[in-house]
Chains A and B, each alone.
Chain A
């Protein structure tokens, strides 16, 4: 069974630009969560999608948005990039979310904002 895949693996952007990251969950998994990981803040929850609906949201500004498609694939968008958005963005999938906490992570997308 293929794991969670994320594309691209590495990305370099400049301030003010926007970026779209993609995540393909494990086959059969319907919940996709996104996290931002930085050395200073650790792993911070961005949002969770389940059946194409955003089910939970973290404390990030509206520049961070996402969506999920009918095949459970998810995309995350960051607009008007800031230097502080440089981070490893991780996607995790689980069967149904909710009380099922077991998440399986992708390798992440390393975003550098110059």
Chain B
């Protein structure tokens, strides 16, 4: 059973468009991270959200943690080709020590 489901799995958009990626679970997370991974490289940490309802902004990227701490979203405004990559959410369920990674969203931004 996958604890963290991401949607969509694949996304191909034109430069300048907006998009939202979702990360959903039936479990409550103590905190949640978003990573971006480029081919042949390790994931790079973008942000950590901790408090239910928390919103964090990183330039054109907006991250939100659900009120119930079971879901999160990543919104990109005016996507650029440099945003292309695999986006992964990850978190630790309350009471468990292991970090669980989401299924991933592969984003392609076409110039």
Contacts and interface: CB of A to CB of B under 8 A. Distances in A.
Interface of A: 4, 33, 35, 42-43, 45, 48, 55-56, 58, 90, 92, 97-99, 101-108, 110
Interface SS majority for chain A:
strand
Given A90-B42, A104-B45, A107-B42, 4 more contacts: A42-B102, A101-B99, A105-B43, A107-B40
Nearest to A94: B99
Interface SS majority for chain B:
strand
A4 B42 contact: yes
B110 interface: no
A99 B35 CA distance: 18
Interface residues of B, number: 23
Contacts, number: 59
A54 to B, nearest CB: 11
Interface in B61-90: 88, 90
Contacts of A105: 35, 42-45
10 contacts: A43-B88, A43-B101, A90-B43, A97-B97, A99-B30, A105-B35, A105-B42, A105-B45, A107-B42, A108-B42
A90 B37 CA distance: 12
